[in-house]
Structure 1
Amino acid sequence: MRRAFDVIGTCMRRAFLGLLAILPIASPASAEPALWVAKSGNATFYLFGTIHLLKPDADWRAPKIADAFAQSGTLWLEMAEGTQGQIDQSFIWKYGKDPAHPLYTKLSVPERQKLRAAAQKVGIAPVTFDSLRPWLAALTLSKAPLQQAGYQGEAGVDNQLLNQAKAANKKVLGFETVEQQLRFFADLPPEMELALLTQTIDGIDAATDQLDQLAGAWLAGDVAALDTMLKGADSAVGDKRLRKVLLADRNAAWAERIATLAHDGGTHFVAVGAAHLTGTDSLLTLLQRRGFTVARL
């Protein structure tokens, strides 16, 4: 279960991307990920959408990003604790395991067979899933093919920024705690939990290609492509409640926090998953509604 939650942000995206057709997005000749600036009074917030898993050789540090980071006194991440995969195992037991109700008892016979086949395909012993709740089984299963393709949590943008901030003695703060993030999944209704696992199993063969395309669009700063992926995937999931829980509600909470911070001024670098900066309920849109001036750099 080590570093099981390096994939947490990716699985949030995959909840929407599970059945979406692959978009033909080429890798950019030079990386230019999207960066925005939001201002209110004497406060400046650089807003950077991240990818939580990347290949170690991905080059994303455009000069404008480096400049914005250097100007910022504080780095804000989705969560500051546990960002590098050091999750308290007690939380995993509390929210992710259910040995009294083995996973196979929650699945139909065909679903059990599909889970077994998917696990074997990515090199995980099927017995590994027996004590896991469906949401944790989905995350664990999602991670394996991405690792095999060379994606690493340690290479994720969040971890790289965290290490850079520590080296520069910048303050690092998080919008959420590890426990809060786990509960986004653990508090899902049982049918949504099972749906997440089913979508993960069905999409196991396409998972790496999907992340390749997502990473390509992100590196190119192709916000329109990212938005198209997410919009199309909403209908693929068939239940917009998941988007509300994992994106919309969190965006609203973060916008409120940023609006409060703005009263004290200062310059902040906000790095959150790229999906939070696309769509009509994005963090950018919510800040504009609160009176911030928002512009892409």
Structure 2
Amino acid sequence: MKPRTKLLALVFAFLLALPAAADTAAHPSLWHVKGPRGEAWLFGSVHVLPPGIDWRGPVIKDALSKADVFVFEVSQDPAAMARVRQLVAEKGYLPQGVSLRDLLHPGMQPKFDAAVAEAGLPPEQVNRERPWLAGLQMLLAQMGQHQFGTGDGVDPVLMEEARTTGRKMRYLETVDQQFALLAPDDPALELDEFEAGLSDLADTEAMVQPLLEAWEHGDQDRLAKIVAEDMADFPAAKKALFDDRNARWVPKIEAMLKQKHRFFITVGAGHLAGPSGVPALLRKAGYQVDGP
């Protein structure tokens, strides 16, 4: 899909909860920062992963064993998921009698039909949805066909570990805050971005694989380059999805570092890469951050 839609899917895929070689060993990056009383590890997550990727190297295992508080972008508890369903119902559908296909330019309608069929989704369902929701569901369906699954992502695995081991969990954002980023306020822009991405939907694996490979190898330079290039035509979207959120998270992390806890903070990998990433912002604020 168009860069905004692709990155939205990677950022928010686990909210919607709708191929790699087996037992692949990944070596994603990990950062460590100490504060006046506490300390934190920063770990970049891929929210959707193919099965069989072992990302728990010795350093990550050691950090997880020491942490007493796990921090995530947003909760996935039953109350949060109920709110997700409510927001999708409120913000995800077109007015009664309006069809998404009919909103498209005539030349895009055959591509839309092909993309819906390729995704294996019921046309009557997709036609009722706003472009942002239809685009995400079509992309996630395609990723599922390539064995990428939300249940295999880092976040749900670590959340379950926190539950089973009695660790406390904290969150940097609310469901409502994340949903505010999903649906553009401009309906024309929303439709344009959806149409622009239809041609790319068939190549979902090739689109996502570079991000996954950069994460697996802990290649922060490549990851930052991919994000920058993908968002080059959408500076406002990059600012809203990454830069502004990173800047809001840093004071929250600083507050944690003043508490006598060891935090394991898991956020999307794109939030930790490049000069506007969280590690760079913490260094700019005067903290010594160990890591790439």
TM superposition score category, shorter chain reference: 0.7 to 0.9
Q: Does 1:112 align with 2:109?
A: yes
**Equivalences for residues 144-293 of structure 1 within 5 A:** 144-235=141-232, 238-293=233-288
How far the C-alpha of 1:269 sits from its partner, in A, is 0.5
The residue that corresponds to 2:50 in the other structure is 55
Distance 1:48 1:63 in 2: 14
Q: What do residues 249-289 of structure 1 show as CA deviations (whole Å, max 9, x unaligned)? A: 11111112112222223210000000001122111122122
Shift of the 177–233 alpha-carbon distance from structure 1 to 2, 3 Å rule, reads: same
The residue that corresponds to 1:38 in the other structure is 33
Letter in 1 for 2:139: S
Give secondary structure in 2 for the equivalent of 1:255. Answer: helix
Letter in 2 for 1:56: P
The residue that corresponds to 1:97 in the other structure is 93
Distance 1:29 1:138 in 2: 29
Q: Sequence identity of aligned pairs in percent?
A: 28
Q: What do residues 223-266 of structure 1 show as CA deviations (whole Å, max 9, x unaligned)? A: 1221121122123xx12111111111111111121122222232
Q: Is the 8 A contact 2:25 2:53 kept in 1?
A: no
How far the C-alpha of 1:46 sits from its partner, in A, is 0.3
Distance 2:130 2:284 in 1: 38
Letter in 1 for 2:165: A
How far the C-alpha of 1:28 sits from its partner, in A, is 11
Q: What do residues 84-117 of structure 1 show as CA deviations (whole Å, max 9, x unaligned)? A: 9945422111121123343234321122222111
Distance 2:26 2:129 in 1: 39
Q: Is the 8 A contact 1:13 1:275 kept in 2?
A: no
Q: How many residues in Structure 1 have an aligned counterpart in Structure 2?
A: 278
Give secondary structure in 2 for the equivalent of 1:270. Answer: strand
Shift of the 123–197 alpha-carbon distance from structure 1 to 2, 3 Å rule, reads: same
The residue that corresponds to 1:74 in the other structure is 69
**Unaligned stretches of 5+ in structure 1?**
1-8, 17-25
Distance 2:87 2:24 in 1: 42
Shift of the 289–265 alpha-carbon distance from structure 1 to 2, 3 Å rule, reads: farther
Q: Is the 8 A contact 1:34 1:49 kept in 2?
A: yes
Q: Is the 8 A contact 1:248 1:281 kept in 2?
A: yes
- The structure where helix makes up a greater share of residues is 2
TM-score (norm 2): 0.86
Q: Is the 8 A contact 1:40 1:291 kept in 2?
A: no
**Unaligned stretches of 5+ in structure 2?**
12-20
The root-mean-square deviation of aligned C-alpha atoms, in Å, is 2.7
Distance 1:252 1:29 in 2: 34
Shift of the 84–33 alpha-carbon distance from structure 1 to 2, 3 Å rule, reads: farther
Q: What do residues 26-84 of structure 1 show as CA deviations (whole Å, max 9, x unaligned)? A: 99974211000122222211000010011121111111111111111111111123599
Give secondary structure in 2 for the equivalent of 1:48. Answer: strand
Q: Is the 8 A contact 2:100 2:127 kept in 1?
A: yes
Q: What do residues 144-172 of structure 1 show as CA deviations (whole Å, max 9, x unaligned)? A: 11101111101100011111111110011
Deviates more, 1:136-145 or 1:78-87: 78-87
Q: Is the 8 A contact 2:10 2:47 kept in 1?
A: no
The residue that corresponds to 1:23 in the other structure is none
Q: Is the 8 A contact 1:99 1:132 kept in 2?
A: no
